[in-house]
Amino acid sequence: MKLREIGEFGFIDRIAPLGAMRSQGVVKGIGDDCAVISLEGPEHLLVTTDLLVEGVHFLMEWAPAEVIGAKALAVNLSDIAACGGRPRDAFISLAIPESVTVEWLDGFYQGMSQTAQRYGVNLLGGDTTGSKQYLVINVAVTGLVPRHEVLFRHGARAGDIIVVSGPMGESGMGVEILLKRPDLPEEVTRPLIRAQLEPRPHIEEGRLLATSGACSAAIDMSDGLSSDLGHICKQSGVGALVYESCLHAGQELAAAAEAMGQNPLRWILGGGEDYVLIAAIKPDMLEEFLRRAEENRMTFLRIGEFTEQPGIQLVRSDGRITPLRASGWDHFA
């Protein structure tokens, strides 16, 4: 059987039952943004890992080494944010082809350690090997979260409000621009490319969700709204209604999509790698939560609600309701 037949997520479902040989201490194994492990003290340990492969996730000519190093760490910090935690320590493993120079690697670590410093993360180890052709980067990060504050993908209930912690679709459009180099003004392309290459992990937004008592589930957006919201729905046993009228394209995304003769919704729903948080907020606590977010200068946008009826439906601007299939990134589909 080819992986294409079951897809990336079908594969993960297949291996998930093999996970925990020793259930003691395992709060959450395979299936969430981080594994959650209970410690003796008042906090849970979070562990997450992500793999970046040259030619699959990035091209060397897209960005200087510093930017690639910073992103490799940032995408892992985003998974810690999705669980409501604060990051602690990182481990970096590299498979390095002959074409990569020592100067490039110096830059890579420079960028990574700047991001590490910003978020108070130690770089504590890793592994180094050669590679026949492509650069392969694996980063693993640990974090801590008070045990009653941990956020999971499961837990959303029908009636909970769907909020997102920032703009969507920009990073996906950034990739499109990097690949196709359309003739667009730099003030349009620059912020979109930046969204792709320099994502900001929403650690503080995750902490606000975790401490608010208002959040019943969360995930970070790596694969696109339709796919990542789908993960919350599946694990929570609920469906969702998303309102097209709430899915505003930012100025640059709108301009780029128009120049390409495309609907920006394509990137908002399926783009991926925005690394904003998608969260379920208890309806009676929404107002108070949004007030606290505003006090902390954070923007959470309300885009829909969770429903008893399974599946994700898009309420179009003209009132029609259409099913929203997962159109986000799957490495094998």
The reply on whether position 244 binds Mg ion by CB under 5 A is: no
52 DSSP β-pair partners = 137
218 DSSP β-pair partners = 279
CA dist 13 and 16 (Å) reads 5
The reply on whether position 12 binds ligand ADP by CB under 6 A is: yes
CA dist 208 and 289 (Å) reads 9
| Contact positions with ligand ADP (CB under 6 A) in 39-58 | 50
Which of 33, 176, 244, 252 touches ligand ADP by CB under 6 A?
Answer: 33
321-to-83, 143, 241, 266, 317 alpha-carbon distances in Å: 32, 40, 9, 17, 9
| DSSP letter assigned to residue 311 | S
Q: Give the nearer residue to Mg ion in terms of CB position, either 33 or 273.
A: 33
Give min distance, CB of 112 to ligand ADP, in A: 18
**Cβ atoms of residues 202 and 276 within 8 Å:** yes
CA dist 276 and 163 (Å) reads 10
Q: Give the nearer residue to ligand ADP in terms of CB position, either 43 or 273.
A: 273
CA dist 166 and 298 (Å) reads 9
259 binds, among ligand ADP, Mg ion, none (CB under 5 to 8 A by kind): none
Q: Give the nearer residue to ligand ADP in terms of CB position, either 77 or 100.
A: 77
Which of 9, 32, 33, 244 touches Mg ion by CB under 5 A?
Answer: 33
Instruction: Give residue 226's identity as a one-letter amino acid code.
Output: S
The reply on whether position 15 binds ligand ADP by CB under 6 A is: yes
The reply on whether position 10 binds ligand ADP by CB under 6 A is: no
Q: Give the nearer residue to Mg ion in terms of CB position, either 76 or 113.
A: 76
| Contact positions with ligand ADP (CB under 6 A) in 207-246 | 222
Sole residue written with tokens 């009636």: 159
Give min distance, CB of 133 to ligand ADP, in A: 21
| Contact positions with ligand ADP (CB under 6 A) in 51-90 | 79
Tokens of 105: 């690697």
Tokens of 260: 């390409």
Give min distance, CB of 102 to ligand ADP, in A: 30
**Cβ atoms of residues 311 and 237 within 8 Å:** no
CA dist 164 and 175 (Å) reads 21
For residue 51, the surrounding DSSP H or E stretch is: strand 43-53
Nearest residue to 307 (alpha-carbon basis) of 283, 284, 285: 283
Give min distance, CB of 12 to ligand ADP, in A: 4
Give min distance, CB of 75 to ligand ADP, in A: 8
Which of 160, 220, 252, 305 touches Mg ion by CB under 5 A?
Answer: 220
Give min distance, CB of 220 to Mg ion, in A: 4
Q: Give the nearer residue to ligand ADP in terms of CB position, either 141 or 240.
A: 141
The reply on whether position 223 binds Mg ion by CB under 5 A is: no
Binding site for ligand ADP (CB under 6 A): 12, 15, 30-33, 50, 79, 222
**Residues that bind Mg ion in the complex, under the rule CB under 5 A:** 33, 79, 220
